[in-house]
Structure 1
Amino acid sequence: MRPRRGLGAARGRGAARGGGQRGVRGGRGGRRPRCARSLPFSHLGDENVEVETSPGPSGIPQRPSLTEQLKVAKVARLLDKKHENLLSADQKKELARLRDGKQVGNFKMPDAPEPQRGRGKGKGKGKGRGSEDSRMWRPCPLLPGVPTVPPPRVRQSWELQQQRPIDITAEQEGEDDDIESYFLPDITEDEEMRPPLLEDEEAVPSAGTPPQAKKRKIQFSPSMGIIQATALPQNIVPAEIELLGFTPSSTGTRTALDSGRSNYSMDIDINMERDFIEPGEGSEVDEGDSANMVGMIDISLKPRRIDDFPMDLDSIAEHEVVEVIQELDNAADEVLRNVVGPETDLLHFDWRGEPENFESVREAFTVPSTGPTFDNADLIPLDVFFKIWDADIIAYIVRETNRYGAELIRSTIPSKPNSRLSRWKDVTSDEILRFLAVLMLQSLVIDYVEREYWYAVIEELQIGNFKEIMTYNRFIVIKRCLHFIDNATLPVPPTKLDKIIPIIEHLNKKFKSLYVLEQNIAIDESLLLWKGRLSFAQKIATKRARVGIKSYELCESRTGYLWQMEVYTGKGHAHVVQDGEPEERGQESDEPESATAQIVLNLTRSLFDKGHTLIMDNFYNAPLLSRILKVQHKTDSMGTLRLNREFVPEALKKKTKKNMKEGEVAFSTTKDLSVVVWMDKNIVAMISSFHPIEVGGIEKYGYYRYKPQVVLDYNFSMGGIDHKDQMLSAYPIERSRNIIWYKKLFRRLLNVSMHNALVMFNHNRTHALRHREFRLQLAKQLLQSSRSAAPSRSLAPAARPEPAACIRDMHLPGKNTKKQRCKLCYSAKVQRSTVWRCTTCNVNLCIVGCYTVYHINLAQTPAV
């Protein structure tokens, strides 16, 4: 009897006899390839596989160590690879299909496009039935209330404006009361559109229709918009077109036919006082045309999209980028294995392609109340700001600034006796508060030349009256001497954040103690623009700054409240020990310092066992990290996932844009985790510890879109940090030009603290303040609180003596080493130099005439 061909038989001539095994002779050394089902494939996650255990001292078998289990897994993978090489191509495909069927389930979205079938060989994208069509497709698990068929598109309000009436006024000699109103029909893509009649265009009557004698006038206004008729009326009449409120830049321009649109267009320059035009309500710009308006629309502050970062490394063209990502992920996985320790049960992942296999539920949120830890009902914005920047930190800044100013004077004055620092005097707390108020006011009205806030180039550009708050020279001196640590106490060798670490530690402590977070929290990176030289500057292409100082931030998802931050200092980054973390934790030699998993555990350590839900992107997420947070710390997690991470099902790792069609969904579940891979415009991989396999829907621009529920929740909850950065970018206290990096970082911290103060002030208020209004009130109240001390003019003499006091103070002349310009002669535009100067006032003056006149005017000038 002839052997049957199939999975258990290899192709070839003749069959092997004996033993009841079908096969063929061949191969090297007479080896016979065996049936795939009989090959000893090992599965680390299968329940039927028993791991050998060695008896302990008491005779009881002990569980193998983590190193032994990893060694067994490695040997099993090598055996699997060796046995797969014995199979034919068809057998390998069948084996992969069997594995996929066990680990992965598949279904299609209701709005997935139908696969294209080729009519003949080589025609079309599809060449017959592919391997994907032979899979067992599950029904789409729609949530209750979600339609099974996509509903028809809902017309938007800006589209309904096309049905508004256009008044056509009949004008005739001696007749102006004949007014007719017409409604234009709805515009469809199938109908051919024609241009409106132009002023100098003669009307061409249709066949059998005499020309009309009446001359009409069509009026267009910006509120109506330009509406083109779908077809000309039967009775064509000459008309004059009047444009109210705007003028055409050109008339009747022909354009090529584009995707069903009109083959005529009318270019009109609309002069309206609007910053930009958005698609949506009140606009006639659709989503397709928005790509041509990049210069008009600010798209730099775009909301977070689900496919901002690649989730399958096959889609990355740069090989170096793939290597860097793989290295970071391997370091994070190593940290996670070290964190697990002896609890080896966490390393067992039994992935199955069955939705019923997932049994996890969301953790109960046990925090009794959220929001500020103080009563904010009767507080003003300044009171909330002083909760963060209290008297202790202000006094600390004053002390360190005065110490650093004295150091600069000792090192600078001998070489530059006429610099601003030569008239330095110690600052006070009120003066530091006025300095902060000036920074706040500068962010409300942006001028890229800082001097013009005090001295405008022309009178029309004058901004406020900053001279009454603080003189320009005094502001520049305080800005230069601003310091936050005693240089004599710096460690040897110093760390990279020593100059600013006292402010970071103070704000982290205040942010955590003044506010209780809601259930949904998020971790993401924030980037402060810095283009100068800095050893730990980072580049993030998806951020607006692109290059600068990166910080990892834990924020509230809804409000963007910054609860804790950690500034990244590049390779060899040392984590700051947080509350509840053992001191020796950061000193372990076998733990990579820059691993993303350690960053997550470090930032969230104070929130463990409270039922929070942590939202992260694929820079942090991993199956083992989600399990550690869920099992050990009662913290849920969700977010995007890179498919190259450890413990991701092998069948899902092979999912790419090449083997998935749009609208397909592949999923795999364990008892406590679910992974979903959805093919939208790109591969979207999600992981969650509480989301079952469910599909919801959302309406956007009138279209109903089906998406996995975990994707909808991620898009809704992940925008907190991006929202915070967008709010801060509207009022840039940091300014674009700074010489010293840690002073710019201080400004960013001041800006963040104002945002946090706004969140705390508006909590549970019926009449919440808007962002700009809050900043205005805060700056005004900060100035009023510091009015007790009059503004100082430190660059003039400390006191303005009377004429008789000049002799007592001994304003004696002294000689310079070389000639310099006389102050009074320079003011009078006289080219004269002198070697004499006043040793008390430190001003160059001609010894004859100017010296006496200057001191008399100085004595008669009232003190300010």
Structure 2
Amino acid sequence: MLQDSETVADITVVPESEMHAHDTDCDSDQSDDEATGDHNRLPSRILKEEGFLPNSDMQLPNPPDDDPGCSSSVSQTETRKVSGTNENVTSQIVGPMLHKTKNQDRKFKKIKIAAKAPAQANKKYQIPRYVPKEHDPGFTSDDPVDIFLTFYPKSLRDVTLEMSNLYAEQKGKTLNLTEDELLTFYGILLISGYNTVPRRRLLWSDDCDVSNNAVKDAMRRNRFDEIMSSVHLVDNMKITADPFFKVRPLFKHLNDINNAIPIAEHVAVDEMMIEYFGRHGCKQFIRGKPICFGYKIWSLASSSGFVHQMEPYVGSHTHLVETGLGQGPSVVLGLAEKAEVPPGVKFYHDNLFTTLSLVDEMTLRGYGSCGTMRQTQLHNVPFTAPQTFKKTPRGDAEHLVEAEKLIVRWNDNSVVTVVSNMEREFTETEAKRWNKQKRTMDKVRQPKCIQDYNTHMGGVDLHDQFVSRYRVNIRSKKWWWPCFSWALNKHSTYGKDLLSFQRLVAQTLLLRHGTKPSRQGRRSSMAVAITDATRFDNLNHWPCNTGSRYKRCKNCGGRTSFACGKCDVPLHVECFKKYHTE
């Protein structure tokens, strides 16, 4: 029990980031449960962590003089010492704690007739009008190669060159990587996305079934292997506590370029997955996703699939501000802040992110907000219970109004609840659904806010679909390689025809920046390798005079103008029988 004289303060405890893989499906679309905990039964790992006051103006009472174990000051942020370095790294970015209103303190109204439009009802809750910005002249090119090089900027390429040469030097090797070689390296990786072979070295093979002349004429195989073993983005001697420090420059440069593109009017917040099956503390498992295992990336994308902002999820080291509203709302607000989203933009998010407090804060910032809600977020909201509402006819809906928000519950294949601050007027449209009993397509009533959500929510999933079409097929054992190759595919998805776009980019990079290797040593007498099954089948092998200049006999190495008509192998007539039988 608190006494009247005691001071009430909220203390935030930030545990150290986990070093083991996370195995959870609580944020999947199929999950309707929210992770909760008992504050009276916290594990020792959390109890031993330091805490801080979210409000710097709040002061704790001074401890009594006879209690040496108490301290009158509390650390504003938690820092921990990185193993192997002398650097203290902040493990959590904490901003001002936002006000969170409980559901029992809200006033929900059931309305039977359509309310007035927001502009006529209450100007306080109006969302500003969206004003599109003009495109930067540097981003108006329609050439696929220019588009690719714009989104994979020279600043990032320069960092890659510098760090790759430095890494090779630290390993006692001389790489001398040039920009032309790096761009050729990118082109070969892109080719592997649509011209796949089971082993990357087969791209340089002379066998007719896997040979690729474009790759062979652009870079030697051994040089490609040298670059792949040394390519880096950071100095390995400057390790930080960030689990993603090796690819942090990659995301920073890509976000800087994306921020130069005007934000679309309708954007979606969701998580992307970069496929990875190895061992890493940030690897996630999300049940029900097309990619279940890999790195999770918080993303802000337009309805067309263009990603405006992305941030890797790395636990307490995620570079997004903690707002006190929970992880989901903090992600939405953090991405909007980092992308510098102007007022008037409309956000769409699923039940992982949506809370009533988030919609309140989005309204204060001038953003539209629409998202599905979990049942665990609807305590004390006077809706019909989902089990009862499911028994109503398909297409039935009920709706409530609370301040600027319209909350709608609709019966479809399952009961879905949507909250929106973009309209207080409840309107309905029609949607087509399959009737199993009649085996026909029937029209059912559908709330307009749900139709808008379905129209604009799929931007991140659409981008994932584009990337997965022709994903880089060359693999590496390095944990950060999936992020590196994913970034190449990410900026090869902006063409109307994805395959033509990626092919044109890859071909142009090889032709412009590739260097045709000069052959060394004696010229080979065979253009195609002959299998043993063909060589020893004793069918239609006849010596023929090629009529060309002398070539080296495959059996003895001497000069000859004769060859096997079937195998196309230079052979003396005397060596013919021995070659085809031994």
Whether the aligned pair in 1 keeps the contact of 2:255 and 2:310 (CA below 8 Å) is: yes
Are 1:560 and 2:299 counterparts? Answer: no
Whether the aligned pair in 2 keeps the contact of 1:454 and 1:465 (CA below 8 Å) is: no
2:196 partner SS? coil
Q: 1:501 to 1:347 in 2, by over 3 A?
A: farther
The residue that corresponds to 1:99 in the other structure is none
Q: 1:310 to 1:66 in 2, by over 3 A?
A: farther
Whether the aligned pair in 2 keeps the contact of 1:608 and 1:633 (CA below 8 Å) is: no
The CA distance in 2 between the partners of 1:66 and 1:633, in whole Å, is: 29
What amino acid is the match of 2:176?
D
Are 1:715 and 2:461 counterparts? Answer: no
Q: 1:745 to 1:377 in 2, by over 3 A?
A: closer
Are 1:477 and 2:251 counterparts? Answer: no
Identical residues among aligned pairs (%): 20
Pick aligned residue for 1:386 from 149, 156, 160: 149
What amino acid is the match of 2:330?
Q
Are 1:670 and 2:402 counterparts? Answer: yes
1:259-314 per-position Cα deviation (integer Å, ceiling 9, x unaligned): xxxxxxxxxxxxxxxxxxxxxxxxxxxxxxxxxxxxxxxxxxxxxxxx94355x5x
The CA distance in 2 between the partners of 1:753 and 1:713, in whole Å, is: 28
Deviation at 1:358, TM superposition (A): 7.0
What amino acid is the match of 1:721?
V
Q: How many residue pairs align between the two structures?
A: 434
Whether the aligned pair in 1 keeps the contact of 2:390 and 2:411 (CA below 8 Å) is: no
Pick aligned residue for 2:503 from 769, 776, 786: 776
Deviation at 1:657, TM superposition (A): 5.6
The CA distance in 1 between the partners of 2:8 and 2:117, in whole Å, is: 27
Whether the aligned pair in 2 keeps the contact of 1:657 and 1:683 (CA below 8 Å) is: no
What amino acid is the match of 1:776?
R
1:640-680 per-position Cα deviation (integer Å, ceiling 9, x unaligned): 1112126x543338433676434332321123101111222
The CA distance in 2 between the partners of 1:406 and 1:336, in whole Å, is: 39
1:754 partner SS? coil
Whether the aligned pair in 2 keeps the contact of 1:471 and 1:793 (CA below 8 Å) is: no
Pick aligned residue for 1:532 from 273, 278, 282: 278
The CA distance in 2 between the partners of 1:435 and 1:552, in whole Å, is: 28
The residue that corresponds to 1:351 in the other structure is 108
Deviation at 1:700, TM superposition (A): 5.7
Deviation at 1:537, TM superposition (A): 0.8
What amino acid is the match of 1:382?
V
1:588-619 per-position Cα deviation (integer Å, ceiling 9, x unaligned): 9xx59x81211111100144552000000000
The CA distance in 2 between the partners of 1:346 and 1:634, in whole Å, is: 22
The residue that corresponds to 2:216 in the other structure is 467
Are 1:684 and 2:405 counterparts? Answer: no
Whether the aligned pair in 2 keeps the contact of 1:629 and 1:636 (CA below 8 Å) is: yes
Pick aligned residue for 2:290 from 537, 544, 559: 544
Unpaired runs of 5+ in structure 2?
11-27, 40-53, 55-92, 120-125, 435-440, 522-553, 556-582
The CA distance in 1 between the partners of 2:384 and 2:277, in whole Å, is: 38
Q: 1:431 to 1:640 in 2, by over 3 A?
A: same
Q: 1:434 to 1:726 in 2, by over 3 A?
A: same
What amino acid is the match of 1:637?
S
Are 1:575 and 2:319 counterparts? Answer: yes
Q: 1:344 to 1:390 in 2, by over 3 A?
A: closer
The residue that corresponds to 1:749 in the other structure is 487
Pick aligned residue for 1:309 from 13, 16, 30: 30
What amino acid is the match of 1:501?
R
1:678-736 per-position Cα deviation (integer Å, ceiling 9, x unaligned): 22221111111123322210346743232221221111111111111111111102x37
The CA distance in 2 between the partners of 1:353 and 1:485, in whole Å, is: 57
Deviation at 1:621, TM superposition (A): 0.5
The residue that corresponds to 1:102 in the other structure is none
Pick aligned residue for 1:740 from 462, 478, 488: 478
1:615 partner SS? strand
1:677 partner SS? strand
The CA distance in 2 between the partners of 1:781 and 1:448, in whole Å, is: 24
Q: 1:645 to 1:351 in 2, by over 3 A?
A: same
The residue that corresponds to 2:254 in the other structure is 507
Return the structure number with greater relative CO, CA threshold 8 A, min gap 6. 2
The residue that corresponds to 1:523 in the other structure is 269
The CA distance in 1 between the partners of 2:235 and 2:383, in whole Å, is: 55
Pick aligned residue for 1:447 from 158, 176, 197: 197
Deviation at 1:459, TM superposition (A): 2.1
Are 1:655 and 2:413 counterparts? Answer: no
Whether the aligned pair in 2 keeps the contact of 1:358 and 1:673 (CA below 8 Å) is: no
Deviation at 1:488, TM superposition (A): 2.1
Deviation at 1:436, TM superposition (A): 0.3
Higher Cα radius of gyration: 1
1:488 partner SS? coil
The residue that corresponds to 2:62 in the other structure is none
1:288-342 per-position Cα deviation (integer Å, ceiling 9, x unaligned): xxxxxxxxxxxxxxxxxxx94355x5xxxxxxxx545999xxxxxx99996434x
1:374-394 per-position Cα deviation (integer Å, ceiling 9, x unaligned): 255555222222222233321
What amino acid is the match of 1:635?
Y
Are 1:731 and 2:470 counterparts? Answer: yes
1:229-281 per-position Cα deviation (integer Å, ceiling 9, x unaligned): xxxxxxxxxxxxxxxxxxxxxxxxxxxxxxxxxxxxxxxxxxxxxxxxxxxxx
What amino acid is the match of 1:340?
L
Deviation at 1:344, TM superposition (A): 7.5
Q: 1:747 to 1:657 in 2, by over 3 A?
A: farther
What amino acid is the match of 1:744?
P
Are 1:435 and 2:185 counterparts? Answer: yes
Q: 1:727 to 1:653 in 2, by over 3 A?
A: same
Are 1:365 and 2:129 counterparts? Answer: yes
Deviation at 1:490, TM superposition (A): 2.5
Q: 1:66 to 1:669 in 2, by over 3 A?
A: farther
2:299 partner SS? strand
Deviation at 1:574, TM superposition (A): 3.1
1:447-492 per-position Cα deviation (integer Å, ceiling 9, x unaligned): 2321221126x4233344421111112111211111011122223x
What amino acid is the match of 1:600?
V
Whether the aligned pair in 1 keeps the contact of 2:114 and 2:427 (CA below 8 Å) is: no
Deviation at 1:528, TM superposition (A): 1.1
Instruction: Kindly report the root-mean-square deviation, in angstroms, between the aligned alpha carbons of the 2 structures.
Output: 3.6
What amino acid is the match of 2:196?
I
Q: 1:685 to 1:310 in 2, by over 3 A?
A: farther
